[in-house]
Amino acid sequence: MEFKDVVRKRRSTRRYTGKPVEKEKLRAAMELALLAPSSKNTRSTRLMAVTNLDKVHALSRLRDFGSSLLEEAGAAIVILGDTEASPMWQINAALMANTLQLALVDQGLASCWVHVGDYLTIQDNTDSQRSEDYVKEVLPEIPEGYRVLSVISIGYADYTPKPLPEYEGPERILFVE
Ligand SMILES: Cc1cc2nc3c(=O)[nH]c(=O)nc-3n(C[C@H](O)[C@H](O)[C@H](O)COP(=O)(O)O)c2cc1C
């Protein structure tokens, strides 16, 4: 697929067909995503693919809004950052997550970012469990010292999202001569 088509085709996709997601496709996309840049080449980001559907579906409860799409996903990739390796771990992780989402498009897969960060499992209840702690309970394999930036929900798209408008106005692109 041409680069511009990959970029255009990437849309946050929240409904999937239920067709199983092949591990080789996840591996190919993750290997490409590892080429994303990182501050001072610290390579602070780790990717954890989850193909066990019970675990993928359990991740849908990491928040009380914006995460239920994981209930029908065929796989998920958890975006992890080593806080000791770089103070820029979040930026590094976000760059890799975006590269990963583009690489998934190239594999014919659809995805959506589900944010974890500092969210709570119940947004309006400050006593509720932190989303990150919930993710670590579902996935005890996450190594010590790693923070969870997000979970990328993955599957075969059940619909074709409309392409984004080509250009929204002059204020987002500036030229200074
Ligand atoms: C930092 C970040 C956090 C996001 N968190 C969520 C989320 O928790 N749940 C969700 O359904 N979508 C989430 N999204 C997807 C955005 O809603 C989506 O990118 C935006 O609406 C634009 O649509 P598009 O991705 O189809 O272009 C997130 C995207 C980004 C970049």
pLDDT, residue 39, reads 98
Does any ligand 1 atom lie closer than 6 A to the CB of residue 112? yes
Q: Does residue 166 have a pLDDT over 80?
A: no
CB 25 within 8 A of CB 107: yes
Whose CA is closest to atom 8 on ligand 1?
A: 114
pLDDT, residue 172, reads 83
Q: Find, among 31, 69, 36, the residue nearest to 151 by Cα.
A: 69
Residue 117 Cα to ligand 1 midpoint, Å, equals 14
Ligand 1 atom at shortest distance from the alpha carbon of 164 = 27
What whole-number distance in Å separates Cα of residue 1 and Cα of residue 127?
A: 47
Q: What is the arithmetic mean of pLDDT over 133-152?
A: 97
Ligand 1 atom at shortest distance from the alpha carbon of 69 = 11
Does any ligand 1 atom lie closer than 6 A to the CB of residue 15? no
Q: Find, among 90, 86, 104, the residue nearest to 43 by Cα.
A: 86
Model-level pTM? Answer: 0.97
Residue 57 Cα to ligand 1 midpoint, Å, equals 19
Q: Find, among 152, 124, 147, the residue nearest to 59 by Cα.
A: 152
Q: What is the arithmetic mean of pLDDT over 149-169?
A: 88
Q: What is the arithmetic mean of pLDDT over 80-107?
A: 98
Residue 11 Cα to ligand 1 midpoint, Å, equals 9
pLDDT, residue 174, reads 85
Q: Which residue has the tokens 């897969």?
A: 109
What's the pLDDT tens digit per position in 47-86?
Answer: 999 999 999 999 999 999 999 999 999 999 999 999 999 9
Task: Please name the residue ranges forming H helices in the chain.
Answer: 3-9, 23-33, 53-59, 89-106, 131-138
Q: What is the arithmetic mean of pLDDT over 132-152?
A: 97
Does any ligand 1 atom lie closer than 6 A to the CB of residue 115? yes
Q: What is the arithmetic mean of pLDDT over 152-159?
A: 97
- The CATH class that applies to domain 3-172 reads alpha beta
CB 121 within 8 A of CB 137: no
Assign 3-state DSSP to the chain and report helix, strand, coil percentages, each to 5.
35, 20, 45
